[in-house]
Amino acid sequence: MDKVAGKTDSKPQEIGDVGPLVGKLQAMFMRAEDVFRADLRNDLIDGLTAFTNRYSRRELMSMGYVSQGSDSGFNVSSGLPPVYVSIFSNKATSLISMIMDVFGLGDFPLKPTPIPDLNPAIADEMVREVTGQAIKAAAQQAIASGQAYDTNTLKDQIAVVLQDVGVQVEAELNKKAMTASTEMSKLMADQLVDCQWVSEFRKFIEDLMWSRVAYLKGPIKESVSFGAWVDKGGAWEYKLNEGFKPAIKRVCPFNVRTEPNIGRIEDGYVFEIHKLTRADLWGLKDVEGYSKDRVLEVLRMYPTGYSLNLDTETQLMFATNRSAEFAAGDHRYDAIEFWGYLVGSDLSEWGINVAEDEMEKPFQIVAMFIGDIAFKVVKRECPCELHPYSSASVKPIPDSVAGLSLYQLLSDSMRMANEAARGIMINIPYAAEPMVVINKELFPAGKKVEVHPGAKFEVSPDMYRTGQDPVRFFSQPIIISELVLALDTAQQMASEASGIARMGHGGEGEMKGAGSTATGLSMAMSASSKVIKDMIKSIDVNVVGRRMAALYHYNMLSGPDEVKGDALVMPAGLTSLMSKEVRSMRLREGLETIGGNQTDMSLMGVVGRSLMLIDYINSLELEKSEELADEIEKNVQVILSAPPVMPVAPQPEEKAAA
């Protein structure tokens, strides 16, 4: 399967001999790799280890649990690792759930642009047709009246007709654009389901928690196999067909190297490391854009596989608590994909044919190589070609692709919490059992002294003359309350640093009272989610919006005609942030308030009450909310059509009884 085929918005153009180009790309990759090792690698490893609720190697090393230079495991003399407080994991889980509630359902509606574009050729044809009709009508009128028609009057008539036609055309265009936008939305929704958008986006959000930067890529063109049973004259045969579909994928932060000293990933080149099997490579030889001869050359040159031998793998093994992915001779390959812009003069120096007037033109290049062999080198010139990668961070850093992760925001409070937790674990056993001091000089020589409940001791008579105690007991002070206070303070520091209140993940002190009302919830979330709002805004604009726009352009180039139109992509992240829950709670409060107030009920009536109830049901997004709303409306009509119940006057005997 083509796991790594790049974007295919335009047909790729293969470019010739690329031997010198591979050497240049290798040098560029090593510069990016050096920056990755110096600035990112250790932070990513520490964050991923914390995400699995464990101390990082560097922390264990500082505590003496891992020896210097050890590849894995703990020192035997140090015992098991100490207690670990999962502040980061709890808050990460809470934040992941919140973001998935906002984005994860893949609701990305489209709407036509305010003024849909009209093909200039069609517009010119319409003008010619209307002008011709006006001239013909004026000529017929002149013949009938026996008078020559006035040219100025004819021009005015043509202008009026064109204006009327323009209004009609604009209305028709808006109608067609709305239809195309609806069909495009359906197609994109189906494509997002096929490429498992929810799963891939969740992985991207999980990366955001522990990594300083997370990446999303797409749409890329993936090959798919599908088959069906075919009747061939009574003999059924299973026919396998090949096809392609667009996909949006999360890319592991350990496999991306960006150009040094850029502020946005879109501003420079990107290298991505792919882990391929021999079968993956074999499947690429017949894929458009890949060189069959060079794929076979890779398989011949490296029959047992090819590894970059990056020492990141060993540390990543420890972080994820697993065995090595790649061992010698296991027929796996580290392939490097390059995506970026190179100017024509550089391409010309490396032996690639470039026109004389295009020496300064930047060409979008997509290349893939293993070792010294490039088996994919293409250039693209589509004007709507968007950068295939998007990136985001929990807290961006100006002029840097990588920002700060949630783990880094919580690192100080986590260190304090774990110090307090270890102190509690140490204090408990020392304070629980008494410490014993035995003065052996007061016991007969060679006498074995055993201390246990009810023990009797024979001591030297000198004890009474010296006034010393042969056995003395004392206890360590219990300072657990102070340590618990420090642990609680660390929890509060973590809430302030992350913007995620403890109420958000069900910790002690979770939201009560005000949190059960919409007003209280809104105030609490507004006060505690500044970091979250900024992050969601960044994801909405820089990641989701760009990937959906790229998918829109992909479908405009390769989709069916009925979905094509001038439209805007509208990710709904910002507009839906907390609004659904707050709105639902406000409606519930209103229903409870009005339900207990007969005056309000009489003023609203059955219709007003039903409208509020239908609105509340819709806000819950129940599976059968439409059926419930229809049932309520039917019952309202039944109530309104029923004859009014007239009050019955009391009888005389009833009055007397009263």
Specify whether 395 is located in the same domain as 311. yes
d(CA 545, CA 556): 16
Tokens of 437: 């001091």
pLDDT-derived band at 319 (thresholds 50, 70, 90) equals: low
Q: Residue 586 belongs to what domain range?
A: 578-643
The predicted structure's pLDDT at residue 269: 93
Position 84 in a domain: yes
Residue 6 near residue 288, CB atoms below 8 Å:
no
How many domains is the chain partitioned into structurally?
4
Position 139 in a domain: yes
Specify whether 493 is located in the same domain as 397. no
Q: What is the pLDDT of residues 497-540, one digit of tens each?
A: 887 776 555 554 444 444 444 455 455 455 446 677 778 878 88
User: How much is the CA Rg of the chain, to the nearest whole Å?
Assistant: 37
d(CA 448, CA 450): 7
Question: Is 5's pLDDT higher than 60?
Answer: no
Position 510 in a domain: no
Position 509 in a domain: no
d(CA 493, CA 345): 55
Which of 458, 478, 504 is the last residue before a domain boundary?
A: 504
**Would you give the DSSP letter of residue 542?**
I
The predicted structure's pLDDT at residue 212: 95
Question: Is 452's pLDDT higher than 90?
Answer: no
Specify whether 29 is located in the same domain as 69. yes
The predicted structure's pLDDT at residue 68: 56
Position 511 in a domain: no
pLDDT-derived band at 79 (thresholds 50, 70, 90) equals: low
Residue 389 near residue 265, CB atoms below 8 Å:
yes
d(CA 256, CA 269): 11
d(CA 483, CA 605): 60
Which amino acid type is present at position 387?
H
The beta-carbon contacts of 401-404 under 8 Å, at least 24 apart in sequence, are 401/213, 401/258, 401/262, 401/263, 401/264, 401/265, 402/39, 402/40, 402/212, 402/213, 403/212, 403/213, 404/212
What string of H, E and C letters represents the secondary structure of 95-147?
A: HHHHHHHHHCCCCCCEEECCCCCCCHHHHHHHHHHHHHHHHHHHHHHHHHHCC
- Of 263 and 570, the structure prediction assigns the larger pLDDT to 263
| Least confidently predicted of 180-184, 431-435, 630-634, 648-652 | 648-652
In DSSP terms, which residues pair with 364 in a beta bridge?
341, 380
Residue 612 near residue 590, CB atoms below 8 Å:
yes
Which of 462, 478, 504 is the last residue before a domain boundary?
A: 504
- pTM of the entire structure? 0.73
Which of 408, 440, 465 is the last residue before a domain boundary?
A: 408
Q: What is the pLDDT of residues 324-348, one digit of tens each?
A: 554 444 678 999 999 998 888 877 7
Element (H, E) at 338: strand 332-343
Q: What is the pLDDT of residues 342-366, one digit of tens each?
A: 888 877 776 667 788 888 888 888 8
d(CA 63, CA 409): 22
The predicted structure's pLDDT at residue 309: 67
